[in-house]
Structure 1
Amino acid sequence: MEIGTTVKNQPQTGYFSSIIEAGTAACRLYGLSKTNVVDIARLLGKSPASVYKIFPSKAAIWDAVAGNFFETDLCLTPSAGGELTSAASRLKETALGQHRLMLRALHGDSQMFDLIVLAAEGNWPSFRDHLKRLQAYVGELVATGIATEEFAPRNVDTAAACFCASIISLWDPRIIGALPVNHSELSAHELASFAVAALRPSSPGEESMAAE
């Protein structure tokens, strides 16, 4: 499915949001494969033509619906008082918290989860933006950890990209959807702990071993 990224008449913000809400409702009611623009327009009490005046295609609507879901249901809110905890703890909780949101969607909102799997498979703008937001937040935590000397000095953008790549199995809906039913979060804890540990300063012995 090709995604049309150009939204027409964007100043009609209210109608834009209404279409996204109706698209979300239609996806949950009928399922992704059975929903069409006629269904969305009917929920709005409008004509399909009026919807196409805002979005150039059904694919563009789905991308906007997925983007809204990423920004609301799959947006991790830092815990209150998080600034008082270490950057390492906040980074680990970010990895695990985002994973829990994905699992909640998988088990509690299957139609929308199918949509974000499709967004990931198609590398839609909504999925790319979601990963960029996560990496930007990870970068902030890495920079904080470097400033407090929890983490070794290094290029923040590179470190954030490497961290996100190392734990992507916790965040990618394609992988999460393929997890066995008896999947334990223990492995997620181990992976997140391992990724955080890689950012810490190396001991003199480790540095000499790495140089050999």
Structure 2
Amino acid sequence: MSVRNQPRAGYISSIVEAGTATCRLYGPSKTNVADIALLLGKSPASIYKIFPSKAAIWDAIAGNFFETDLRFVASADLELANAACRLREAALGQHRLMLQARHGDHQMFKLVVLAAEGNWPSFRSYLKRLHADMARLIHDGIETQEFAPTNVEAAASCFCAAIIALCDPRIVGVLPSSHCEISAQELVAFAVASLASSNLASGSGLTDDDPMNLRGA
């Protein structure tokens, strides 16, 4: 099937898959569009008809990795737990995925570090998704009266800021080898416990203009 006749969405997916494979083989700094085209049996020009630049290709590859390998999905059993437990496990689960990528998928981890350092759209989408996931769980906790009534968006921003060291690849990438999940568990437990206090009940929290607000990242 020619590039012209191949469905656009399918070709985009093929480029991202080939780009991921070449990135894992050569690393993000040594992979080029010609390598991706060679793997696909296409020409670099055909790829540039889909993506306007090499940067756009790399961002798409990073975005796919954020949404697949770095997306925590709760088990069916966990979905039956209370909101505090689900919030705690979502944060720790996200951290474990980052650690797994750092140690087991080194070249792709390098790519998402670059995405974070460059504030690529893929990284900003990852932060927004993290915020949305935490906001949903916090909302559930307020509904079940586990957490104090508060501004959910502000609480989610505060919670994400508190655990950002566990979820930002730039920070995870420089964690000492002695780092273990016990410290992560303590940090998350502290952040979750703060939601049950009255400190947030007034609705105070981060605003859209605050530099620590992950929604505006």
Map of 2:18 onto structure 1? 22
Letter in 1 for 2:139: A
Structure 1 residues without counterparts, runs of 5 or longer: 1-10, 204-212
Structure 2 residues without counterparts, runs of 5 or longer: 1-6, 200-217
Separation (CA, whole Å) in 2 of partners of 1:83 and 1:47: 46
Separation (CA, whole Å) in 2 of partners of 1:197 and 1:19: 44
Letter in 2 for 1:16: I
Separation (CA, whole Å) in 1 of partners of 2:145 and 2:40: 54
Q: How does 1:1-212 map to 2 (within 5 A)?
A: 12-202=8-198
Identity across aligned pairs (percent)?
A: 70
TM-score (norm 2): 0.87
Letter in 2 for 1:125: P
SS in 1 for 2:131: helix
Separation (CA, whole Å) in 2 of partners of 1:189 and 1:182: 15
TM-score (norm 1): 0.89
Separation (CA, whole Å) in 2 of partners of 1:201 and 1:104: 33
Task: Give, in angstroms, the shift of residue 79 of structure 1.
Answer: 1.6
Task: Give, in angstroms, the shift of residue 54 of structure 1.
Answer: 0.3
Separation (CA, whole Å) in 1 of partners of 2:65 and 2:24: 12
Contact preservation (8 Å) 1:91, 1:138: yes
SS in 2 for 1:150: coil
- Residue by residue over 1:88-114, the C-alpha shift from the partner in whole angstroms, topping out at 9 and shown as x without a partner, is 110000110000000000000000000
- Residue by residue over 1:70-99, the C-alpha shift from the partner in whole angstroms, topping out at 9 and shown as x without a partner, is 111011111213332110110000110000
Separation (CA, whole Å) in 2 of partners of 1:76 and 1:46: 34
Letter in 2 for 1:32: P
Letter in 2 for 1:115: L
Separation (CA, whole Å) in 2 of partners of 1:165 and 1:85: 24
SS in 1 for 2:108: helix
SS in 1 for 2:134: helix
Task: Give, in angstroms, the shift of residue 134 of structure 1.
Answer: 1.1
Number of equivalent positions? 193
Map of 2:208 onto structure 1? none
